[in-house]
Amino acid sequence: MAGDTDRLRRLADQAVVCGVGESAYGRRLGRSAIDLAADAIQAAVADAGLTKGDIDGMAVTFGSPLGADADTLAFALGLELKAYNQTWAHGRFTGTALQWAAMTVAAGLADVVACLAAVSFTGVRRLRVGGGGDREGAREGGGGHGEDPVYGMTSPGAGAALMARKYMARHGATAEDLAAVPISLRHNATLNPLAMYSEPLTLQAYLGARHVAEPLRIFDYCQVNDGAACVLVTTPERAADLAQPPVYLGGMQGLPAGRHEFIWAYPGFGTAQQIETDWTPGPQPVHRMAGVTPADIDAFFTYDAFSPLVWLALERWGFCGIGEVWQFTADGRIQVGGELPVNTNGGLLSEAHIMAWNHQVEIVRQLRGQCGERQVAGAEVIQWGNVYGDSLIYHR
Amino acid sequence: MSDYLKPLPPITNLSKPYWDSLQEGALRMPQCQACSLIFYPPAPLCPGCWSRDLTWAALSGRGTVNSWVVFHQAYLKGYDNEVPFNVTEVTLDEGPRLMTNLVGIDNDDIRVDMPVQVVFDAVTDEVTLAKFAPLPGWSPEGGTP
Ligand SMILES: [Zn+2]
């Protein structure tokens, strides 16, 4: 165990974020993914006090056709990359890309890696995530979110609805309890000038909204939009004389897979082929690596493509007991100003869906103290942690 | 030619015995001869112990509802006139879970843990689906007598 911790700690604080930037976020911007990406990387490079020639690595998590591939971005933007990497197009790989960037600069394979995400959901004609264009559901072995189109099961949101129904039945939670998630994140968005949606959401409006995959309503679903965001990763040494104070990557935990995992639930939950058990998370490697506990976390960010994902992420990362989160998220506890602010930008639910690269931008700005009205006072340690089991702990 | 518009399963060499079993009115899944694990979806080896000594075991066709969703939006071809329809995850008595549809029940009457049994729905000449119905005698108010 001590040996494991020593090995884990070798990469702690060996990489920092030195610059962040984004394009405008919105629907039907009428701009291509490469066009939006250019705005984000230029903003991030200017933020860091770097120049074009300093960027020699790239990580991409959302390629063509919804986004832009790393090689085409390098070509279009005139970059000379020593190393690039690209995952298949899923929001789940945001943390994985950052971890690769950190390892790449720490190992000296590149000096500054641009994690560059651009998406044009509304620019791709007749796009549907789920339905006839559901490539996930057609995979051999079935879809990763529970898709099984033969029985009409399609779209990632339906998998989240399946998890939410079971959670509510097991633990006595209701739609009114779940409403606290989108309502709280919308509250955070009202404090964010970049957010696509900044009108407060009421419980009455939530409950009156149409169901999509019941029990989820339209307000439980993320935005579908266009936009780009960029996060620049380098070494602490390289960051020392740059324009912004560095934000350290202090802890990491990789993305797990296997029969004990389902993308929208923690082990033991009992969806897909998970065996149902009384699983409790306990201290995780990311905590050991960063030398912190959940009590040290000043704000929590998570992949909120659908509101129940926030619930299970909070339980998975130990902020409350299994079965208790529907009470934890009540009473404004996860709003800015609450006990544990979550997704202070408004999240995918209310700021925009940039595969949560917008969340990473927000985390960095929180730790620099640049968030204005929605600033978490004295924020020093922020966790990125997901229902699907990967995590990063950032600190200033 | 069939007028069935909904998606049909991609049948591979691994999954063909499963789909053949439904055609024959049985529910069979791979079982490991080394460790007895019954698992789904079909795989080239036992995911428990990596034995390649697999057989196809006939299951009881009984299970319980693990969870369900009701689609109010028709994403897929063939579903335009079907919303709202349920998609239900059933935990089979032998362990594996199956995505399916419950038939013979109003969506409002579905409950977690309710007992169900398989019914075979021959949707085309080549493909039969495993759907599930409430166990006879079960009611949302009274459970199973
Ligand atoms: Zn075995």
- pLDDT tier, A132 (very low <50, low <70, confident <90, very high otherwise): low
- A30 in Cβ contact with A123 (< 8 Å): yes
Query: For position A3, what pLDDT does the model report?
Result: 67
In this structure, the answer to whether residues B69 and B47 fall within a common structural domain is: no
Domains held by chain B: number: 2
Strand (E) positions, chain A? 16-22, 57-60, 83-86, 113-120, 213-214, 226-234, 247-253, 299-301, 381-385, 391-395
In this structure, the answer to whether residues B47 and B24 fall within a common structural domain is: yes
In this structure, the answer to whether residues B53 and B66 fall within a common structural domain is: no
Residue with tokens 């912190």: A292
Q: Measure CB to CB from residue B76 to each of A131, A161, A214 and give the nearest one.
A: A131
Cα–Cα distance between A188 and A181 in angstroms, integer?
Answer: 11
State yes or no: pLDDT of A301 exceeds 70: yes
Considering only CB atoms, which chain B residues are within 8 Å of A146?
A: 89, 99
Tokens representing residue A74 in the block: 């390098």
Preceding amide of B41 cis, omega within 30: yes
Query: For position A127, what pLDDT does the model report?
Result: 52
In this structure, the answer to whether residues B44 and B65 fall within a common structural domain is: no
- pLDDT tier, A129 (very low <50, low <70, confident <90, very high otherwise): low
The CA radius of gyration of chain A, in Å to the nearest whole number, is 20
In this structure, the answer to whether residues B55 and B67 fall within a common structural domain is: no
In this structure, the answer to whether residues B123 and B88 fall within a common structural domain is: yes
- pLDDT tier, A123 (very low <50, low <70, confident <90, very high otherwise): confident
From residue A392, alpha-carbon distances to A7, A221, A285 in Å are 16, 24, 10
Query: For position A135, what pLDDT does the model report?
Result: 74
Query: For position A44, what pLDDT does the model report?
Result: 98
- Map residue A100 onto helix, strand or coil: helix
State yes or no: pLDDT of A126 exceeds 90: no
Cα–Cα distance between A195 and A197 in angstroms, integer?
Answer: 5
Crossing angle between the packed helical segments A357-368 and A94-106, to the nearest 10 degrees: 60
The reply to whether B67 touches chain A by the CB within 8 Å rule is yes
Please tell me the pTM assigned to this model.
0.96
Nearest-neighbour CA in chain B from A210: distance (Å):
8
Across chain A, mean pLDDT equals: 95
Q: Measure CB to CB from residue B87 to each of A138, A142, A152 and give the nearest one.
A: A152
Q: Is residue B5 part of a domain?
A: no
In this structure, the answer to whether residues B126 and B145 fall within a common structural domain is: yes
Q: Which domain does B38 fall in, by range?
A: 13-59
Q: Is residue B6 part of a domain?
A: no
- Map residue A57 onto helix, strand or coil: strand
Residue with tokens 């398989």: B118
Per-residue pLDDT of chain B in tens (145 residues, 90 and over written 9): 578 999 999 899 999 999 999 999 999 999 999 999 999 999 999 999 999 999 999 999 999 999 999 999 999 989 989 999 999 999 999 999 999 999 999 999 999 999 999 999 999 999 999 999 999 999 998 877 6
In this structure, the answer to whether residues B119 and B83 fall within a common structural domain is: yes
- pLDDT tier, A1 (very low <50, low <70, confident <90, very high otherwise): low
In this structure, the answer to whether residues B53 and B118 fall within a common structural domain is: no
State yes or no: pLDDT of A336 exceeds 60: yes
Residues 6+ apart with CB under 8 A from A16: A233, A234, A235, A236, A239, A246, A247, A248, A249
Q: Is residue B7 part of a domain?
A: no
Question: In chain A, pLDDT over 70 holds for what percent of residues?
Answer: 96
Q: Is residue B132 part of a domain?
A: yes
Residue of B nearest to A216 (CA): B69
Q: Is residue B2 part of a domain?
A: no
In this structure, the answer to whether residues B51 and B68 fall within a common structural domain is: no
Domain boundaries, chain A: 2-395
User: Which CATH entry fits the domain spanning A2-395: 3.40.47.10, 3.40.109.10, 3.90.180.10, 3.10.310.10?
Assistant: 3.40.47.10
